[in-house]
Structure formats: C-alpha cells, structure tokens
C-alpha cells in the first residue's frame, strides 16, 4: 500500500516521467495508469487490493445444491464424490463428481480420494444370482480399549453377487463354535446359500492329514457346499477382502471400542448403512440391498438324517478320526467324529471311496500295504 501511494504521489507531480517511474517500481505502464485512475477517482481507498472474483459466475453451482452436497459430506465424511453424487435426489440436477469435489474444496472440506476406479484390464467376476456363493473370513483382529476385555475378531460373510453383508460379528476368538453360532443366526434370517467359500485357516481350514473340520461337516450335513481358496491366493476371497478394507477405512480407524457389545452395536449400525445406503461402484452406484434377496432354502430346525445306499458299507467315525474297514484303521478326519460315512467300491478292484453325505472325503487303495 505504501509503495502504491508513493508511486502515485511521484507520478502525479508536474513533469513526472511515468515510464521511468514504472521501471523504478517494477510495474507495467498499464498497471501504472490503472492505479492513477483509481487514485484520482477514489483517493487512497482506490489503491487497496482489489478482489479477483468475477462479477458473475453463470456456471457456478447454486446455493441449494452446495448446501445438499455439504450436508451429505457431513453425514458421510468417508465417502468420495461419486458416492455423494449418487445420493443426491432425483429432482436435483446431478453434477459431475469433479464438481462435487470442487464444492467441497471451496468450503474447506477434505475431499476423499476415489477408491472406486478400477484398471480397465481388471475383469470383474460375480455369480449371476444371490446366494449362489457366500464368501466368509475373519478380518484381522484388533485390541479393545479395556485391556481386560481382550481383542475383537470380526467375522464377515458377504454375498458374491450383490456384495450384501450377510454377517458382521464381533467375536472374542476364531473358534468353530463361534462361527457356527454366527452362521446359524444368518441362516435363520437369510436362508441357506448353495455354497460358501473360505480360506485355509482356522477354524474351517483343513486340519492334519487332510481331513475336514467340524464346521465343514456341519455345513455339508445341512446341504451347503464348502470350498477353499488356493493357498496364498487372497484374490479368491477378493470381494470379502475389499469389504474388510472398507470396514477399516470407514469405521475401525475412526473409533475405539471398550467392549465386544459396544463393538457389535457399531458393527450393526455400519452394516445397515453399507447394505441399505452406501452406493457401490460395481453395482452402478446402487446399494447392495438393491440386488439381494433372501434364499428360498430355509434353515432346518433339526439336522437331517444322513442316508446312504443299501449297498454302501457304513462305518461310524471313532473319537480319533479313524474308521475300521477290512482289518485296517483308516483316517477320515477329526471333524467327522461321531458321524457315519459310507465306503463305496470303485471300478478298480481294491480302490474305495469314503463318502460323507454326498461328498467324497477320502480314497483308499487296499492293494497297498500299510
């Protein structure tokens, strides 16, 4: 301000060399004459810094739209511009996501980076209908605030077709009994899927000597097929792994929980938001609930009886996971203790299949000496 006042004072003097003064003050002649004109018209106030804001912005978003965008951002601060744009009402002219980001920046809000954009080379696979496949896994455990309360082991179950979160359970550990309890609740609410896939870890992973686990035996008994991902290949569980990342980013990194009960309450609220409201990029920015429907297969109140053909040689699995057949002790799996299995001959003499319900468990060649 003082330099401007000095310049116009010297330039207004009689016989002043304007060009020379411009070189001395390091300004252009256009700027010099503009300052002189403003000083002549408004005095010292005319030398104040002028706003560069345009007189009109015909393409700028209206105040009502900006208000709605800011309201959505305050309600869902972890969601990016694409999801916020999808949540705008139909009676509102929906702007481009870049416009949403510009509105947020203009009001000093933090713009979340987009996590939706996939490489064009990535091929997305999904089953053609709900309940054909559920993906199941434990998310990495984390400590509770109260050190005496232990840790939380989130159990997640996701429908492959719709990305609908079937189960989000705060568990105190990774045991088969806890998984069975959580799945039973899910089956009673949503019915039985055709198949469930999981990794090879506890409690559903294959135990020693290639048997099957108790949780697998129970699922097979009620008519649910069980599959396992290839070792060291998390892409098989890709949708559930991505769900874990979203859970961590939107909930876990922002909150601490003093007990499993408070953790479960937060899980329930967030799961409802994820299923019913949150737009999903792979679903054309629709929430998972828009593509999910409960299974038509009800959960049985009692376990169905295991039936085999009259020609089958039926054996009961002993407490160590073995059966006795043809004067031999054969291992079939600790998860089948107390269950009945069928031994069926094959077209090859001396080669037998061990079947539980409708699933082949083991193969034994009695021609080989043990």
Low-confidence ranges of the chain (pLDDT < 50): 120-121, 209
Name, in order, each residue with C-beta under 8 angstroms of 95's C-beta and a sequence gap of 6 or more.
61, 65, 85
What phi and psi values does residue 62 have, to the nearest 5 degrees? -75, 165
Question: Residue 355 forms beta bridges with which residues?
Answer: 342, 360
DSSP 8-state code for residue 225:
E
Q: What is the pLDDT of residue 35?
A: 85
Q: What is the pLDDT of residue 121?
A: 43
Which stretches does DSSP call E strand in the chain?
A: 134-138, 142-143, 151-159, 165-171, 195-198, 225-228, 313-316, 322-325, 328-331, 340-345, 351-356, 359-365
CA–CA separation, 167 vs 88, rounded Å?
A: 29
Specify whether the CB–CB gap between 266 and 251 falls below 8 A.
yes
Separation in Å, CA 212 to CA 26, 332, 354 = 84, 8, 12
Q: What is the pLDDT of residue 116?
A: 54
Specify whether the CB–CB gap between 192 and 184 falls below 8 A.
no
Specify whether the CB–CB gap between 319 and 329 falls below 8 A.
no
Q: What is the pLDDT of residue 233?
A: 72
Q: What is the pLDDT of residue 57?
A: 63
Q: What is the pLDDT of residue 44?
A: 81
Q: What is the pLDDT of residue 59?
A: 63
Q: What is the pLDDT of residue 62?
A: 80
Q: What is the pLDDT of residue 208?
A: 52
- pLDDT per position as a tens digit, 111-137: 877 655 555 445 668 899 999 999 999
For residue 79, the tally of other CB atoms under 10 A from its CB is: 19
Q: What is the pLDDT of residue 195?
A: 96
Q: What is the pLDDT of residue 327?
A: 86
Name, in order, each residue with C-beta under 8 angstroms of 150's C-beta and a sequence gap of 6 or more.
143, 144, 172, 260
Specify whether the CB–CB gap between 204 and 216 falls below 8 A.
yes
Burial class (CB in 10 A: 0-12, 13-18, 19+), 264: middle
């Amino acid at each position: 301000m003082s330099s401007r006042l000095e310049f116009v004072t010297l330039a207004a003097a009689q016989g002043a060399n304007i060009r020379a003064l411009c070189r001395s003050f390091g300004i252009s002649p256009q700027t010099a004459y503009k300052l002189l004109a403003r000083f002549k018209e408004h005095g010292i106030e005319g030398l104040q810094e002028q706003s560069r804001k345009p007189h009109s912005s015909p393409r700028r978003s209206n105040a009502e739209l900006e208000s709605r965008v800011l309201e959505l951002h305050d309600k869902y601060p972890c969601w990016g511009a694409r999801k916020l744009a999808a949540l705008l009402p139909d009676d509102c002219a929906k702007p481009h996501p870049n416009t949403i980001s510009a509105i947020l920046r203009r009001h000093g809000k933090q713009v979340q980076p987009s996590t939706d954009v996939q490489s064009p080379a990535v091929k997305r696979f999904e089953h053609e209908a709900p309940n054909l496949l559920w993906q199941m896994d434990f998310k990495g455990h984390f400590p509770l605030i109260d050190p005496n309360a232990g840790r939380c082991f989130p159990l997640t179950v996701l429908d492959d077709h719709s990305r609908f979160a079937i189960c989000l359970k705060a568990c105190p550990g990774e045991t088969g009994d806890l998984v069975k309890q959580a799945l039973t609740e899910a089956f009673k609410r949503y019915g039985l899927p055709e198949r469930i896939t999981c990794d090879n870890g506890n409690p559903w992973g294959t135990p020693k000597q290639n048997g099957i686990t108790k949780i697998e035996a129970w699922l097979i008994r009620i008519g649910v097929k069980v599959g396992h991902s290839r070792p060291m290949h998390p892409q098989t569980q890709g949708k559930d792994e991505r769900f874990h990342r979203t859970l961590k980013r939107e909930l876990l990194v922002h909150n601490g929980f003093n007990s499993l009960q408070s953790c479960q309450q937060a899980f329930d609220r967030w799961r409802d938001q994820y299923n019913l409201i949150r737009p999903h990029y792979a679903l054309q920015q629709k929430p998972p609930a828009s593509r999910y429907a409960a299974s038509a297969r009800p959960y049985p109140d009692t376990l169905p009886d295991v039936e085999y053909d009259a020609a089958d040689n039926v054996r009961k699995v002993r407490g160590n996971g073995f059966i006795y057949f043809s004067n031999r002790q054969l291992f079939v799996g600790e998860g089948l203790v107390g269950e009945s299995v069928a031994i069926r001959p094959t077209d090859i003499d001396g080669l037998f299949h061990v079947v539980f319900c409708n699933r082949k468990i083991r193969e034994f060649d009695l021609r080989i000496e043990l």
